[in-house]
Amino acid sequence: MTEHKVAIITGSATGVGAATALSLASRGYHVLINYSKSEEEARASEAACQAVGAETLLVRGDVADDGACRHMADAALAQWGRIDALVNNAGITSFAGSANWDALDTATFQNIYGVNVIGAFQMVRACVPHLKAHNGCIVNVSSIAGALGIGSSVAYIASKGAINALTLHLARTLAPAIRINAVCPGLITTRWFVDGVGQENAEKIRAQYENTVPLGTACSAEDVAEAIVWLVDGARTVTGELLLLDGGMHLGRAAPVVRA
């Protein structure tokens, strides 16, 4: 068994997941990098982690498949003999727009739930026995969508609300052996967002967001990763927290600047 701590980060080929894997690798963790489609990007994420001295495992698997979730846990144990942290980052959406809430077909809704909610649950179930052995922790990557009821689609909004509720329930159930928290970012300026809405729309949405929220800025992947790493590697007395990373969006529109 390695003396290094071990983290599994789902959906860690790009964006928040890749930034989190690199941050934990930089802190001495060995990391399991998971992807479902983006193999080239996943290998780049793995190489970045190796460059800072981490041991890595690259595992392809869709978290909606319970067998794939169990395989990830088994692979980490076979390689390193322990699991200390699980970051449930894998997520999908349909950029249907929340106004078109009734446009989604049942299959799309179920697919989003399968990854965003059931996938997270299955990963927790696969990892909990091993996390308990090391007083480990779990961080779920949720969204401000689950707190405010806004977002890219009604299925995505509902799935993030479900993740928040799951986090609160499991924080009670798994204590004191395991801490579990969620981060709830607002707009994140990642490729995932740009690919979903297009470059021009992405720039417009970002400008509108940054002109509206009190702090005047959107999140980067690294901003979200920083919060995740704090919840993983610090925050000793924090569990059941839904940490809003939204530039103050939940406070309402930014107040106008008053000049004397």
Q: Is 113 one of the catalytic residues?
A: no
Closest CA to 55 of 24, 95, 86: 24
- CA-CA distance, 100 to 151, in Å (whole number)? 11
> Which three-class secondary structure string do you get for the chain?
CCCCCEEEECCCCCHHHHHHHHHHHHCCCEEEEEECCCHHHHHHHHHHHHHCCCCEEEEECCCCCHHHHHHHHHHHHHHHCCCCEEEECCCCCCCCCHHHHHHCCHHHHHHHHHHHHHHHHHHHHHHHHHHHCCCCEEEEECCCHHHHCCCCCHHHHHHHHHHHHHHHHHHHHHCCCCEEEEEEECCECCHHHHHHHCHHHHHHHHHHHHHHCCCCCCECHHHHHHHHHHHHHCCCCCCCCEEEECCCHHHCCCCCCCCC
Q: Which of 29, 35, 156, 209 is catalytic?
A: 156
Catalytic residues: 156
